[in-house]
């Protein structure tokens, strides 16, 4: 009886060990592909990055860093493409961003990219989405800097100015002020109630 138990335990141990070895090998292959996509010869080719990270995710789909790099590469590459190709890459960026958020919903790069993707069709919805993240990570100046830009895009200059005031003196202030000023200049009429509240000239 004891001998049978020993044999059974040994078989279970061997099966578990084999599964662990396979799992480790798959993860190693995926990380090798990720390294090549980010630091190797493919890191300037958005299509190559997408292909490599797609393959990597089949081997090991639990690393949100794969998703961040792929989504950001697709998103920023779309700005250099014609409209049809850009739409395809924006869709890929959205897909990978959502995959990353499913793995880590609080990763700032993913939440920021998701906000930018939402803002393409609805700055107001992007504001609501990013506000929820800022409530969770309130003390980061970069988060308020993005809120400044989003409020301005949505036409809510009063809130944009208030958010800008929160980061006065930080490294993010100047760039956020420039973005607010840029959106302000697009307005045909400057809201009178905001005059004098901003330290930059629109």
- The verdict on residue 64 lying in a domain is yes
Pair (97, 126) in one structural domain: no
pLDDT for the residue numbered 192: 53
In the chain, the largest separation of any two C-alpha atoms, in whole Å, equals 90
**CB 66, CB 53: distance < 8 Å:** yes
The low-confidence residues of the chain, meaning pLDDT below 50, are: 194-202
pLDDT more than 90, % of the chain: 48
Pair (75, 166) in one structural domain: no
Three-state SS string across 29-91, please?
Answer: HHHHHHHHHHHCHHHHCHHHHHHHHHHHHHHCCCCHHHHHHHHHHHHHHHHHCCHHHHHHHHH
Pair (40, 80) in one structural domain: yes
Question: What residue numbers bound the domain in which 186 lies?
Answer: 122-202
Closest CA to 157 of 186, 180, 130: 180
Pair (161, 95) in one structural domain: no
Pair (27, 80) in one structural domain: yes
Element (H, E) at 153: helix 141-153
- The verdict on residue 144 lying in a domain is yes
| Reported pTM | 0.77
How many separate domains does the chain show? 2
Q: What are φ and ψ of residue 140, in 5° steps?
A: -90, 115
Task: Give the separation between CA 190 and CA 140, rounded to whole angstroms.
Answer: 29
Q: What confidence tens digit (pLDDT) does each residue in 128-137 have?
A: 999 999 999 9
- Provide the 8-state DSSP code for 156: -
pLDDT for the residue numbered 55: 72
Q: What confidence tens digit (pLDDT) does each residue in 51-70 have?
A: 777 777 777 667 888 889 88
């Amino acid at each position: 009886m004891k001998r049978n138990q020993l044999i059974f335990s040994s078989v279970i141990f061997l099966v578990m060990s084999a599964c662990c070895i396979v799992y480790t090998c798959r993860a190693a292959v995926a990380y090798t592909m990720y390294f090549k996509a980010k630091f190797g010869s493919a890191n300037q080719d958005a299509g190559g990055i997408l292909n490599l990270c797609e393959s990597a995710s089949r081997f090991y789909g639990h690393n949100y860093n794969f998703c961040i790099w792929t989504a950001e590469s697709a998103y920023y590459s779309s700005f250099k493409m014609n409209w049809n190709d850009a739409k395809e890459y924006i869709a890929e960026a959205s897909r990978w961003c959502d995959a990353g958020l499913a793995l880590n919903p609080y990763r700032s790069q993913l939440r920021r990219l998701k906000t930018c993707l939402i803002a393409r069709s609805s700055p107001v919805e992007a504001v609501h989405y990013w506000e929820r993240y800022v409530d969770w990570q309130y003390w980061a100046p970069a988060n308020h800097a993005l809120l400044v830009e989003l409020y301005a895009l949505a036409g809510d200059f009063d809130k944009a100015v208030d958010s800008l005031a929160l980061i006065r003196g930080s490294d993010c202030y100047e760039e956020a002020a420039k973005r607010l000023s840029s959106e302000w200049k697009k307005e045909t009429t400057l809201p009178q109630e905001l005059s004098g509240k901003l330290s930059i000239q629109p």
